[in-house]
Protein backbone atom coordinates (compact mmCIF):
# COMPACT_ATOMS: atom_id res chain seq x y z
CA UNK A 1 0.00 0.00 0.00
CA UNK A 2 1.17 3.47 -0.65
CA UNK A 3 0.99 6.61 1.40
CA UNK A 4 0.56 9.06 -1.50
CA UNK A 5 -3.01 10.32 -1.83
CA UNK A 6 -4.55 11.35 -5.13
CA UNK A 7 -5.47 15.01 -5.31
CA UNK A 8 -8.93 14.71 -6.81
CA UNK A 9 -11.25 11.83 -6.86
CA UNK A 10 -11.10 9.91 -10.14
CA UNK A 11 -13.74 7.32 -11.06
CA UNK A 12 -12.41 3.80 -11.70
CA UNK A 13 -14.32 0.94 -13.30
CA UNK A 14 -13.30 -2.71 -12.75
CA UNK A 15 -14.77 -5.35 -15.05
CA UNK A 16 -14.32 -9.06 -14.29
CA UNK A 17 -16.64 -12.07 -14.39
CA UNK A 18 -15.23 -13.33 -11.08
CA UNK A 19 -16.82 -11.68 -8.06
CA UNK A 20 -13.81 -12.56 -5.91
CA UNK A 21 -11.47 -10.63 -8.14
CA UNK A 22 -13.77 -7.62 -8.19
CA UNK A 23 -13.84 -7.82 -4.38
CA UNK A 24 -10.06 -7.82 -4.08
CA UNK A 25 -9.71 -4.98 -6.52
CA UNK A 26 -12.27 -2.92 -4.61
CA UNK A 27 -10.40 -3.64 -1.34
CA UNK A 28 -7.16 -2.59 -2.97
CA UNK A 29 -8.70 0.83 -3.60
CA UNK A 30 -9.99 1.37 -0.08
CA UNK A 31 -7.23 3.80 0.86
CA UNK A 32 -7.20 5.54 -2.50
CA UNK A 33 -9.07 8.71 -3.24
CA UNK A 34 -11.04 7.15 -6.08
CA UNK A 35 -14.64 6.30 -6.67
CA UNK A 36 -14.97 2.65 -7.63
CA UNK A 37 -17.48 1.04 -9.98
CA UNK A 38 -17.57 -2.70 -10.70
CA UNK A 39 -19.18 -4.74 -13.46
CA UNK A 40 -19.24 -8.51 -13.93
CA UNK A 41 -19.44 -8.45 -17.71
CA UNK A 42 -18.41 -6.25 -20.66
CA UNK A 43 -22.09 -5.51 -21.35
CA UNK A 44 -22.66 -4.29 -17.76
CA UNK A 45 -19.44 -2.31 -17.98
CA UNK A 46 -20.70 -0.46 -21.05
CA UNK A 47 -23.99 0.31 -19.28
CA UNK A 48 -22.13 1.77 -16.28
CA UNK A 49 -19.96 3.83 -18.62
CA UNK A 50 -23.02 5.22 -20.40
CA UNK A 51 -24.36 6.41 -17.04
CA UNK A 52 -20.94 7.70 -15.89
CA UNK A 53 -19.04 8.97 -18.93
CA UNK A 54 -16.59 10.78 -16.62
CA UNK A 55 -14.97 7.47 -15.59
CA UNK A 56 -11.23 8.02 -15.99
CA UNK A 57 -9.69 4.58 -15.51
CA UNK A 58 -11.06 1.25 -16.81
CA UNK A 59 -9.51 -2.06 -15.72
CA UNK A 60 -10.91 -5.10 -17.53
CA UNK A 61 -10.26 -8.83 -17.50
CA UNK A 62 -9.57 -10.26 -20.97
CA UNK A 63 -11.26 -13.61 -20.56
CA UNK A 64 -14.93 -13.21 -19.92
CA UNK A 65 -18.03 -14.92 -21.24
CA UNK A 66 -19.89 -12.71 -23.76
CA UNK A 67 -17.85 -9.64 -24.69
CA UNK A 68 -14.12 -10.28 -24.43
CA UNK A 69 -11.94 -7.71 -22.67
CA UNK A 70 -10.54 -6.49 -26.03
CA UNK A 71 -14.03 -6.01 -27.53
CA UNK A 72 -15.36 -4.30 -24.40
CA UNK A 73 -12.40 -1.90 -24.20
CA UNK A 74 -12.69 -1.17 -27.90
CA UNK A 75 -16.37 -0.23 -27.50
CA UNK A 76 -15.68 1.76 -24.34
CA UNK A 77 -13.65 4.23 -26.40
CA UNK A 78 -16.82 5.47 -28.03
CA UNK A 79 -18.34 6.34 -24.62
CA UNK A 80 -15.27 7.48 -22.65
CA UNK A 81 -12.60 8.36 -25.22
CA UNK A 82 -10.31 10.03 -22.66
CA UNK A 83 -10.29 7.18 -20.11
CA UNK A 84 -7.10 5.19 -19.43
CA UNK A 85 -7.62 1.49 -20.17
CA UNK A 86 -5.80 -1.40 -18.49
CA UNK A 87 -6.30 -5.02 -19.57
CA UNK A 88 -5.72 -8.00 -17.25
CA UNK A 89 -4.47 -11.14 -18.94
CA UNK A 90 -3.06 -14.51 -18.07
CA UNK A 91 0.42 -15.38 -19.43
CA UNK A 92 -1.25 -17.53 -22.04
CA UNK A 93 -3.15 -14.55 -23.41
CA UNK A 94 -0.23 -12.40 -24.58
CA UNK A 95 -1.66 -12.14 -28.09
CA UNK A 96 -4.96 -10.91 -26.74
CA UNK A 97 -3.07 -8.30 -24.69
CA UNK A 98 -1.29 -7.07 -27.80
CA UNK A 99 -4.62 -6.95 -29.61
CA UNK A 100 -6.07 -4.91 -26.80
CA UNK A 101 -3.20 -2.45 -26.99
CA UNK A 102 -3.39 -2.17 -30.77
CA UNK A 103 -7.17 -2.09 -31.23
CA UNK A 104 -8.69 -1.24 -27.89
CA UNK A 105 -6.70 1.91 -27.22
CA UNK A 106 -5.31 0.18 -24.13
CA UNK A 107 -2.73 2.06 -22.17
CA UNK A 108 -1.20 -0.87 -20.30
CA UNK A 109 -1.65 -4.56 -19.72
CA UNK A 110 -1.13 -6.39 -16.43
CA UNK A 111 -0.80 -10.08 -15.86
CA UNK A 112 -2.91 -12.15 -13.57
CA UNK A 113 -2.21 -12.70 -10.75
CA UNK A 114 -1.00 -9.19 -10.15
CA UNK A 115 1.26 -7.60 -7.61
CA UNK A 116 -0.89 -5.30 -5.44
CA UNK A 117 1.65 -2.48 -5.29
CA UNK A 118 2.10 -2.62 -9.05
CA UNK A 119 -1.65 -2.56 -9.56
CA UNK A 120 -2.12 0.42 -7.21
CA UNK A 121 0.82 2.25 -8.80
CA UNK A 122 -0.59 1.64 -12.30
CA UNK A 123 -4.08 2.84 -11.37
CA UNK A 124 -2.67 5.84 -9.56
CA UNK A 125 -0.53 6.76 -12.58
CA UNK A 126 -3.51 6.34 -14.92
CA UNK A 127 -5.65 8.51 -12.62
CA UNK A 128 -2.91 11.13 -12.43
CA UNK A 129 -2.60 11.33 -16.20
CA UNK A 130 -6.37 11.38 -16.64
CA UNK A 131 -6.62 14.25 -14.14
CA UNK A 132 -3.82 16.14 -15.87
CA UNK A 133 -5.48 15.66 -19.21
CA UNK A 134 -8.87 16.87 -17.90
CA UNK A 135 -7.24 19.84 -16.22
CA UNK A 136 -5.54 20.68 -19.50
CA UNK A 137 -8.82 20.31 -21.29
CA UNK A 138 -10.54 22.52 -18.68
CA UNK A 139 -7.77 25.08 -18.97
CA UNK A 140 -7.97 25.17 -22.73
CA UNK A 141 -11.75 25.46 -22.46
CA UNK A 142 -11.24 28.42 -20.11
CA UNK A 143 -8.73 29.96 -22.51
CA UNK A 144 -11.11 29.46 -25.44
CA UNK A 145 -13.99 30.96 -23.46
CA UNK A 146 -11.87 33.90 -22.34
CA UNK A 147 -10.67 34.45 -25.88
CA UNK A 148 -14.28 34.51 -27.02
CA UNK A 149 -15.10 36.97 -24.22
CA UNK A 150 -12.10 39.13 -25.17
CA UNK A 151 -13.23 39.06 -28.79
CA UNK A 152 -16.71 40.10 -27.72
CA UNK A 153 -15.25 42.89 -25.58
CA UNK A 154 -13.10 44.16 -28.37
CA UNK A 155 -16.08 44.07 -30.73
CA UNK A 156 -18.13 46.00 -28.19
CA UNK A 157 -15.30 48.52 -27.77
CA UNK A 158 -15.08 48.91 -31.51
CA UNK A 159 -18.82 49.42 -31.67
CA UNK A 160 -18.64 52.04 -28.90
CA UNK A 161 -15.80 53.81 -30.70
CA UNK A 162 -17.79 53.76 -33.92
CA UNK A 163 -20.86 55.12 -32.14
CA UNK A 164 -18.81 57.91 -30.63
CA UNK A 165 -17.25 58.75 -33.97
CA UNK A 166 -20.73 58.88 -35.45
CA UNK A 167 -21.89 61.14 -32.63
CA UNK A 168 -18.92 63.49 -33.20
CA UNK A 169 -19.61 63.49 -36.94
CA UNK A 170 -23.25 64.38 -36.28
CA UNK A 171 -22.26 67.26 -34.00
CA UNK A 172 -19.72 68.41 -36.53
CA UNK A 173 -22.35 68.38 -39.27
CA UNK A 174 -24.78 70.28 -37.04
CA UNK A 175 -22.08 72.91 -36.42
CA UNK A 176 -21.36 73.11 -40.13
CA UNK A 177 -25.06 73.61 -40.85
CA UNK A 178 -25.22 76.47 -38.34
CA UNK A 179 -22.07 77.96 -39.87
CA UNK A 180 -23.58 77.64 -43.36
CA UNK A 181 -26.82 79.27 -42.24
CA UNK A 182 -24.85 82.16 -40.75
CA UNK A 183 -22.87 82.59 -43.95
CA UNK A 184 -26.05 82.53 -46.02
CA UNK A 185 -27.61 85.16 -43.79
CA UNK A 186 -24.56 87.40 -44.22
CA UNK A 187 -24.63 86.87 -47.98
CA UNK A 188 -28.37 87.66 -48.13
CA UNK A 189 -27.81 90.85 -46.15
CA UNK A 190 -24.94 91.90 -48.40
CA UNK A 191 -26.95 91.16 -51.53
CA UNK A 192 -29.85 93.21 -50.17
CA UNK A 193 -27.49 96.05 -49.34
CA UNK A 194 -25.84 95.93 -52.75
CA UNK A 195 -29.27 96.00 -54.46
CA UNK A 196 -30.36 98.86 -52.24
CA UNK A 197 -27.29 100.82 -53.21
CA UNK A 198 -27.96 100.29 -56.91
CA UNK A 199 -31.42 101.83 -56.52
CA UNK A 200 -29.77 105.21 -56.95
CA UNK A 201 -28.93 104.62 -60.55
CA UNK A 202 -31.16 102.68 -62.95
CA UNK A 203 -28.30 102.14 -65.40
CA UNK A 204 -26.28 100.02 -63.01
CA UNK A 205 -29.09 97.81 -61.71
CA UNK A 206 -27.99 94.22 -61.32
CA UNK A 207 -24.36 95.21 -62.06
CA UNK A 208 -22.98 93.95 -58.73
CA UNK A 209 -24.85 90.65 -58.99
CA UNK A 210 -23.67 90.16 -62.58
CA UNK A 211 -20.06 90.87 -61.63
CA UNK A 212 -20.41 88.46 -58.71
CA UNK A 213 -21.83 85.76 -60.99
CA UNK A 214 -19.03 86.07 -63.55
CA UNK A 215 -16.16 86.53 -61.08
CA UNK A 216 -17.28 83.54 -58.98
CA UNK A 217 -17.58 81.39 -62.10
CA UNK A 218 -14.02 82.33 -63.11
CA UNK A 219 -12.76 81.58 -59.59
CA UNK A 220 -14.45 78.19 -59.67
CA UNK A 221 -13.04 77.47 -63.11
CA UNK A 222 -9.57 78.28 -61.71
CA UNK A 223 -10.27 75.80 -58.89
CA UNK A 224 -9.56 78.39 -56.19
CA UNK A 225 -10.30 77.47 -52.58
CA UNK A 226 -13.86 77.69 -51.27
CA UNK A 227 -12.88 80.59 -49.02
CA UNK A 228 -11.28 82.54 -51.85
CA UNK A 229 -14.30 82.02 -54.10
CA UNK A 230 -16.58 83.27 -51.32
CA UNK A 231 -14.38 86.32 -50.72
CA UNK A 232 -14.43 87.14 -54.45
CA UNK A 233 -18.21 86.77 -54.49
CA UNK A 234 -18.70 89.10 -51.51
CA UNK A 235 -16.20 91.66 -52.81
CA UNK A 236 -17.93 91.64 -56.21
CA UNK A 237 -21.30 92.38 -54.62
CA UNK A 238 -19.85 95.40 -52.82
CA UNK A 239 -17.08 96.47 -55.19
CA UNK A 240 -18.70 99.81 -56.10
CA UNK A 241 -20.27 100.54 -52.75
CA UNK A 242 -17.80 103.40 -52.24
CA UNK A 243 -19.60 105.30 -55.03
CA UNK A 244 -22.27 106.19 -52.50
CA UNK A 245 -20.53 109.53 -51.99
CA UNK A 246 -20.68 110.49 -55.68
CA UNK A 247 -23.30 113.00 -56.73
CA UNK A 248 -26.25 111.72 -58.80
CA UNK A 249 -24.84 113.58 -61.81
CA UNK A 250 -21.40 112.02 -61.52
CA UNK A 251 -22.89 108.61 -60.91
CA UNK A 252 -24.58 108.60 -64.30
CA UNK A 253 -21.51 109.61 -66.28
CA UNK A 254 -18.92 107.27 -67.71
CA UNK A 255 -15.37 107.74 -66.38
CA UNK A 256 -14.37 109.58 -69.55
CA UNK A 257 -17.19 112.11 -69.11
CA UNK A 258 -16.28 113.06 -65.54
CA UNK A 259 -14.92 116.50 -64.78
CA UNK A 260 -11.65 116.63 -62.94
CA UNK A 261 -13.14 117.13 -59.47
CA UNK A 262 -15.68 114.40 -60.09
CA UNK A 263 -12.90 112.16 -61.37
CA UNK A 264 -10.94 112.71 -58.18
CA UNK A 265 -13.96 111.67 -56.13
CA UNK A 266 -14.61 108.75 -58.43
CA UNK A 267 -11.08 107.45 -57.97
CA UNK A 268 -11.65 107.31 -54.24
CA UNK A 269 -14.54 104.84 -54.48
CA UNK A 270 -12.41 101.66 -54.22
CA UNK A 271 -10.80 103.02 -51.07
CA UNK A 272 -14.07 104.15 -49.57
CA UNK A 273 -15.53 100.73 -50.32
CA UNK A 274 -12.71 99.04 -48.47
CA UNK A 275 -13.04 101.33 -45.48
CA UNK A 276 -16.81 100.70 -45.36
CA UNK A 277 -16.45 96.93 -45.08
CA UNK A 278 -13.20 96.73 -43.13
CA UNK A 279 -14.92 96.86 -39.78
CA UNK A 280 -17.19 93.94 -40.59
CA UNK A 281 -15.87 90.66 -39.24
CA UNK A 282 -14.86 88.30 -42.03
CA UNK A 283 -14.96 91.02 -44.70
CA UNK A 284 -11.40 92.29 -44.40
CA UNK A 285 -10.09 90.14 -47.29
CA UNK A 286 -13.02 91.18 -49.45
CA UNK A 287 -12.15 94.80 -48.56
CA UNK A 288 -8.67 94.33 -50.04
CA UNK A 289 -10.16 93.08 -53.33
CA UNK A 290 -12.57 96.03 -53.39
CA UNK A 291 -9.66 98.43 -52.96
CA UNK A 292 -7.80 97.02 -55.97
CA UNK A 293 -10.59 96.37 -58.49
CA UNK A 294 -9.52 99.36 -60.63
CA UNK A 295 -5.81 98.50 -60.77
CA UNK A 296 -4.41 97.81 -64.23
CA UNK A 297 -2.01 95.03 -65.15
CA UNK A 298 0.51 97.63 -66.42
CA UNK A 299 0.34 99.69 -63.22
CA UNK A 300 -1.75 102.53 -64.68
CA UNK A 301 -4.85 101.89 -62.63
CA UNK A 302 -5.85 103.30 -59.25
CA UNK A 303 -5.81 103.81 -56.29
CA UNK A 304 -2.31 102.33 -55.69
CA UNK A 305 -0.94 101.84 -59.21
CA UNK A 306 -0.08 98.23 -58.45
CA UNK A 307 1.04 96.12 -61.39
CA UNK A 308 0.99 92.43 -62.37
CA UNK A 309 0.98 89.86 -59.63
CA UNK A 310 1.09 92.52 -56.93
CA UNK A 311 -2.59 93.13 -57.59
CA UNK A 312 -4.49 90.50 -55.56
CA UNK A 313 -5.74 87.71 -57.82
CA UNK A 314 -9.38 88.19 -56.77
CA UNK A 315 -9.18 91.91 -57.66
CA UNK A 316 -7.77 91.04 -61.11
CA UNK A 317 -10.70 88.68 -61.69
CA UNK A 318 -13.26 91.25 -60.49
CA UNK A 319 -11.70 93.90 -62.77
CA UNK A 320 -12.38 91.74 -65.83
CA UNK A 321 -15.91 90.84 -64.74
CA UNK A 322 -16.62 94.51 -63.94
CA UNK A 323 -15.39 95.63 -67.36
CA UNK A 324 -17.42 92.88 -69.02
CA UNK A 325 -20.72 93.79 -67.41
CA UNK A 326 -20.35 97.54 -68.00
CA UNK A 327 -19.30 97.03 -71.62
CA UNK A 328 -22.01 94.49 -72.44
CA UNK A 329 -24.63 96.99 -71.29
CA UNK A 330 -23.31 99.65 -73.69
CA UNK A 331 -22.96 97.31 -76.67
CA UNK A 332 -26.43 97.32 -78.18
CA UNK A 333 -27.95 94.00 -79.20
CA UNK A 334 -25.91 92.58 -82.08
CA UNK A 335 -23.11 90.13 -81.45
CA UNK A 336 -22.58 91.45 -77.93
CA UNK A 337 -20.55 88.56 -76.57
CA UNK A 338 -18.05 88.46 -79.44
CA UNK A 339 -17.58 92.23 -79.54
CA UNK A 340 -17.05 92.47 -75.77
CA UNK A 341 -14.73 89.46 -75.76
CA UNK A 342 -12.61 91.19 -78.45
CA UNK A 343 -12.33 94.28 -76.24
CA UNK A 344 -11.25 92.17 -73.25
CA UNK A 345 -8.65 90.51 -75.45
CA UNK A 346 -7.39 93.89 -76.58
CA UNK A 347 -6.88 94.87 -72.95
CA UNK A 348 -4.74 91.83 -72.09
CA UNK A 349 -1.26 92.71 -70.82
CA UNK A 350 -2.28 96.36 -70.56
CA UNK A 351 -5.37 96.42 -68.45
CA UNK A 352 -5.93 92.74 -67.68
CA UNK A 353 -3.81 89.79 -66.59
CA UNK A 354 -3.31 87.65 -69.75
CA UNK A 355 -3.14 84.50 -67.60
CA UNK A 356 -6.76 84.99 -66.57
CA UNK A 357 -8.13 85.19 -70.09
CA UNK A 358 -8.58 81.49 -70.72
CA UNK A 359 -10.63 80.71 -67.53
CA UNK A 360 -12.47 84.01 -68.00
CA UNK A 361 -13.49 83.30 -71.59
CA UNK A 362 -14.53 79.72 -70.77
CA UNK A 363 -16.67 80.79 -67.79
CA UNK A 364 -18.35 83.66 -69.60
CA UNK A 365 -19.18 81.55 -72.65
CA UNK A 366 -20.61 78.85 -70.40
CA UNK A 367 -22.74 81.37 -68.53
CA UNK A 368 -24.10 82.79 -71.78
CA UNK A 369 -24.70 79.32 -73.20
CA UNK A 370 -26.86 78.55 -70.17
CA UNK A 371 -28.96 81.68 -70.67
CA UNK A 372 -32.05 80.75 -72.62
CA UNK A 373 -32.79 82.18 -76.01
CA UNK A 374 -35.27 84.88 -75.14
CA UNK A 375 -37.03 84.67 -78.47
CA UNK A 376 -38.10 81.13 -77.60
CA UNK A 377 -40.07 82.30 -74.59
CA UNK A 378 -43.07 84.48 -73.91
CA UNK A 379 -44.32 85.72 -70.55
CA UNK A 380 -47.49 86.15 -68.57
CA UNK A 381 -48.23 88.36 -65.61
CA UNK A 382 -49.66 86.51 -62.64
CA UNK A 383 -50.94 87.60 -59.22
CA UNK A 384 -48.85 86.11 -56.39
CA UNK A 385 -51.67 83.75 -55.42
CA UNK A 386 -51.37 81.94 -58.75
CA UNK A 387 -47.65 81.26 -58.55
CA UNK A 388 -46.61 77.63 -58.60
CA UNK A 389 -43.45 75.66 -57.98
CA UNK A 390 -41.06 75.30 -60.96
CA UNK A 391 -42.31 78.48 -62.66
CA UNK A 392 -39.45 80.70 -63.90
CA UNK A 393 -39.36 84.49 -63.54
CA UNK A 394 -39.13 86.26 -66.90
CA UNK A 395 -38.27 89.62 -65.27
CA UNK A 396 -36.58 90.68 -62.05
CA UNK A 397 -39.06 90.70 -59.19
CA UNK A 398 -38.84 94.05 -57.41
CA UNK A 399 -40.71 95.34 -54.38
CA UNK A 400 -43.02 98.40 -54.59
CA UNK A 401 -40.11 100.68 -53.67
CA UNK A 402 -38.02 99.04 -56.42
CA UNK A 403 -35.80 96.80 -54.34
CA UNK A 404 -34.59 93.76 -56.27
CA UNK A 405 -35.93 90.69 -54.49
CA UNK A 406 -35.41 87.90 -57.06
CA UNK A 407 -33.56 88.00 -60.35
CA UNK A 408 -35.11 87.00 -63.65
CA UNK A 409 -34.58 83.33 -64.57
CA UNK A 410 -35.13 82.40 -60.91
CA UNK A 411 -36.82 79.01 -60.56
CA UNK A 412 -39.65 79.30 -58.04
CA UNK A 413 -39.93 76.95 -55.09
CA UNK A 414 -42.32 77.12 -52.09
CA UNK A 415 -39.88 79.32 -50.11
CA UNK A 416 -39.48 81.84 -52.94
CA UNK A 417 -43.24 81.96 -53.55
CA UNK A 418 -43.70 82.67 -49.84
CA UNK A 419 -41.09 85.45 -50.09
CA UNK A 420 -42.90 87.08 -53.03
CA UNK A 421 -46.22 86.90 -51.18
CA UNK A 422 -44.62 88.53 -48.15
CA UNK A 423 -43.43 91.46 -50.27
CA UNK A 424 -46.95 91.92 -51.61
CA UNK A 425 -47.93 92.59 -48.00
CA UNK A 426 -44.86 94.57 -46.89
CA UNK A 427 -44.06 96.67 -49.93
CA UNK A 428 -46.46 95.71 -52.71
CA UNK A 429 -45.32 96.11 -56.34
CA UNK A 430 -47.76 97.84 -58.65
CA UNK A 431 -47.87 94.94 -61.09
CA UNK A 432 -48.03 91.15 -60.97
CA UNK A 433 -45.18 88.66 -61.21
CA UNK A 434 -43.85 87.98 -64.71
CA UNK A 435 -43.51 84.30 -65.50
CA UNK A 436 -41.88 82.71 -68.50
CA UNK A 437 -44.09 80.73 -70.88
CA UNK A 438 -43.11 78.62 -73.86
CA UNK A 439 -44.05 80.15 -77.19
Least distance between Fe ion and beta carbon 334 (Å): 24
Q: Which residues pair with 110 in a beta bridge?
A: 88
Query: Nearer to Fe ion by C-beta: 26 or 267?
Result: 267
- Range 267-286 burial, b when 16+ CB lie within 10 A, else e: ebbbbbbbebbeeeeebebb
Least distance between Fe ion and beta carbon 262 (Å): 14
SS3 200: coil
Query: Nearer to Fe ion by C-beta: 135 or 257?
Result: 257
- Per CB under 5 A, the segment of 113-121, 132-140, 321-329, 421-429 that binds Fe ion is 321-329
Residue 312 contacts by C-beta under 8 Å, 6 or more apart in sequence? 288, 289, 292
240 is a site residue for Fe ion (CB under 5 A): yes
The sign of the CA dihedral 412, 417, 420, 424 is: positive
- Per CB under 5 A, the segment of 28-36, 238-246, 354-362, 431-439 that binds Fe ion is 238-246
SS3 11: strand
How is 96-120 classified by DSSP, letter by letter?
Answer: HHHHHHHHS--SEEEESSPPHHHHH
Count of residues near Fe ion by CB under 5 A: 2
Q: Residues 384, 397: contact at Cβ < 8 Å?
A: no
Q: Residues 140, 49: contact at Cβ < 8 Å?
A: no
Give the x/- contact pattern for Fe ion in 276-315, rule: CB under 5 A: ----------------------------------------
Q: Considering only residues 322, 363, 396, 412, which one is a binding residue for Fe ion as defined by CB under 5 A?
A: 322
Query: Nearer to Fe ion by C-beta: 57 or 321?
Result: 321
Pair type for strands 57-61 and 108-111: unpaired
Least distance between Fe ion and beta carbon 362 (Å): 22
Query: Nearer to Fe ion by C-beta: 203 or 358?
Result: 203
- Per CB under 5 A, the segment of 107-115, 235-243, 347-355, 412-420 that binds Fe ion is 235-243
Query: Nearer to Fe ion by C-beta: 191 or 416?
Result: 191
Query: Nearer to Fe ion by C-beta: 32 or 322?
Result: 322
- Contact positions toward Fe ion, by CB under 5 A? 240, 322
Amino acid sequence: MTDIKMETSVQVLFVDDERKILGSLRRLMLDEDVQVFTASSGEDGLEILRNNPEIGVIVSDQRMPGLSGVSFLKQSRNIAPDAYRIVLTGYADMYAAMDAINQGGVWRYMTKPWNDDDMVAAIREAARQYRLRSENRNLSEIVTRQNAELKQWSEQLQLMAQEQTLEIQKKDEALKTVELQKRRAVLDAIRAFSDLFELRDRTVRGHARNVAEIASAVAREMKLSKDEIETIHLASLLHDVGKIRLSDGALQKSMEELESKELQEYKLHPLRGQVAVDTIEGMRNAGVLIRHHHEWHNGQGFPDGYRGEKIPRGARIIAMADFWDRTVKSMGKENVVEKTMALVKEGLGRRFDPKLFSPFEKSVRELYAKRPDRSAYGEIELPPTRLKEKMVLSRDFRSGTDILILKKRTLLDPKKIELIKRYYLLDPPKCGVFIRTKK
